[in-house]
A and B are shown apart, each in its own frame.
Chain A
Amino acid sequence: MSLGGDIVAVLRGDAQADRVVPPTGFTARLTLFTAAAMAFLAVFALALSLATGRLADRWGSELARSATVRISAPAGQVEAQVQAALRVLRTTPGVTSARVLDAAEQRALLEPWFGPDLPIESLPAPQLIDVVEDGRGYDADGLRLRLTAEAPGAVLDDHTRWRRPLIRAADRLRALGVVSILLIAGATAAMITLAAQAALAANAQVIGVLRLVGARDVYIARAFVRRFTLRALVGAAAGAALATAAIAILPRAGDAGGFLTGLGFQGWHWLWPLAIPPLAAVVAFWATRLAAFRSLRELT
């Protein structure tokens, strides 16, 4: 029988085939509990992963798409150094544009500190060049060296670069969340394998009789696979629902809470927990199926 047909048969069920293997109350409850607990953890790992992912994205987009080159030089040299710096910037890979700020823009920048009537032209204020980089970014250290050589008064100020390590940390955290989900899936598979093996061993007599009257391995396996798949599905649905509810009622503190209160789902991401129960069912299906075929070959 094809695998697709097998899964359909497992879900459709066969009341009579189900009765052939006696119910196993204790393993059943343990499997339900395990699936629920694992789904609960998986939803939190998912939330963590998505939240840190969002954080990394937000910081990343705010980050140094723009930097500033500040040129402070004796009055007569400013213009020459500005031109030199522009030449350097325009030939720097990773820099999309370099634009000299005009007096009005510079005044606007300084206005909060010095008021609107600042006579900027008469002040030895540095000249600013706005630098926009492309997605790949540029080599800041290399650019600094070249600027120093061509325009000694130029200082590259890439003020938002300090967030780079933070973004790396957030990315790492997102990866850890994904790893956690994989580990949870693996642990679920391991526990369901153990439970299925215990159930199969407890039913060795029954399995022996079934083999004697001509039952094929797939038939016997299916009785167990169906049970464990359904238990994993139901348990994981309960666990995922509880975890989602727990996340939904986390207190909100707006932006002040930052990362802590950002640990939730946003928009369609609330649909993600729905993927956990089917995932648990697939894991249980394979774990039980493999355990069943292995045990059946050993038992009879």
Chain B
Amino acid sequence: MIELSDVSYSYGGGELLSGISLTLAPGSFHFLTGPSGAGKTTFLKLCYGDLLATAGRVTAFGQDVRGLARDEIARLRRRIGVVHQDCRFLDHLPVAENVALPLIVSGRDTAGEAANLADLLGWVGLSDQAGALPPSLSGGERQRAALARAVIMAPEVVIADEPTGNIDWEMSLRLLSLLVELNKMGKTIVIATHDLNLIRSAKQQVAARVLRIRNRGVQLAGADL
């Protein structure tokens, strides 16, 4: 599904990530951990084509990401749902429209998807906030709205960057269960987090693998978590 072979990345200074080779198979569930600044967000951006590897090759759905034209990158983004670390909403549009944004920009008939949208908002528990503007949402509400937006196009892959960064344990578990549910529907899930408890909790529900960024490389963590 997403394949990295000997990928390195540098923002201009020294190499942040180096010689990474791994495959995110369809239907797999991965966690990505590592200290702050290790390059988790950078790694995820390489996966969804927001950054291009400075060396090596990233393949998504069988296509070399480097060779994609701008329009093809846009199409790739519709197949990979992303929960960004900072959520990234349009603050002048209500939550419902922000969640529906991928539909709107792909030119789909949003009126026809209204029931879908309502279901989705109910699923993440934001039915009451549908008409609110993003700046008025709490941290957890923002994260859930971001998750709803990430899955509205029914993407094959969902990438979540610190989806439980701002929220309490109970809400974190709720969000995790939504992601586990998606995985059971066959979606490929990648979650960057440094919340070890979240990882432990997930391992009880799905066969999750844990990737750890260390010394600029990515290793598969053992049972030592």
A20 and B70 form a contact (CB under 8 A): no
- Which of B76, B77, B84, B105 has the most chain A CB within a 10 Å cutoff? B105
A214 and B102 form a contact (CB under 8 A): yes
Q: Mark B86-99, 1 if CB is under 8 A from A, else 0.
A: 00111011000100
Residue of A17, A208, A216 touching B88 (CB-CB under 8 A): A208
Q: Which chain B residue has the least Cβ–Cβ distance from A206?
A: B90
Q: Mark A197-218, 1 if CB is under 8 A from B, else 0.
A: 0000000001011111111110
B50 and A20 form a contact (CB under 8 A): no
How far, in angstroms, from A211 to B49 measured CA to CA in the complex?
11
Contacts of A16 in B (CB 8 A): 97, 104, 110
A214 and B105 form a contact (CB under 8 A): yes
B74 and A211 form a contact (CB under 8 A): yes
Is B75 in the interface zone, CB < 8 Å from A?
yes
How far, in angstroms, from A124 to B102 measured CA to CA in the complex?
100
Given the known inter-chain contacts A213-B77, A214-B78, please indicate yes or no for A19 contacting B102, CB distance below 8 A. Answer: no
Given the known inter-chain contacts A209-B88, A214-B78, A215-B74, please indicate yes or no for A19 contacting B105, CB distance below 8 A. Answer: no
How far, in angstroms, from A215 to B77 measured CA to CA in the complex?
9
A22 and B105 form a contact (CB under 8 A): no
B75 and A20 form a contact (CB under 8 A): no
Given the known inter-chain contacts A214-B106, A215-B105, A217-B71, please indicate yes or no for A209 contacting B153, CB distance below 8 A. Answer: no
Contacts of B84 in A (CB 8 A): 212
Is A219 in the interface zone, CB < 8 Å from B?
yes
Interface residue total, chain A, C-beta cutoff 8 A: 18
B70 and A17 form a contact (CB under 8 A): no
The majority secondary structure among interface residues of chain A is helix
B50 and A209 form a contact (CB under 8 A): no
A17 and B104 form a contact (CB under 8 A): yes
Contacts of B77 in A (CB 8 A): 211-214
Contacts of A206 in B (CB 8 A): 90
CB neighbors of B among A11-25 (8 A): 16-17, 19-20, 22
A20 and B101 form a contact (CB under 8 A): yes
Is B67 in the interface zone, CB < 8 Å from A?
no
A209 and B90 form a contact (CB under 8 A): yes
Q: In the assembled complex, how far is the CB of residue A10 from the closest CB belonging to chain B, in whole angstroms? A: 14
Q: Which chain A residue has the least Cβ–Cβ distance from B82?
A: A212
Is B57 in the interface zone, CB < 8 Å from A?
no
Task: Show 20 A/B contacts (Cβ-Cβ < 8 Å), sorted by A.
Answer: A17-B105, A20-B101, A22-B90, A206-B90, A208-B88, A209-B89, A209-B90, A211-B77, A212-B77, A212-B82, A213-B101, A213-B102, A213-B105, A214-B76, A214-B78, A214-B153, A215-B106, A217-B71, A217-B74, A219-B105
B residues with CB within 8 A of A: 50, 70-71, 74-78, 82, 84, 88-90, 92-93, 97, 101-102, 104-107, 110, 149, 153
A residues with CB within 8 A of B: 16-17, 19-20, 22, 206, 208-217, 219, 297
If A214-B74, A214-B153, A216-B70 are given as contacts, then 11 extra A-B residue pairs at C-beta distance below 8 Å, sorted by A number, are A17-B105, A19-B93, A209-B88, A212-B77, A212-B84, A213-B77, A213-B101, A214-B102, A215-B105, A216-B74, A297-B70
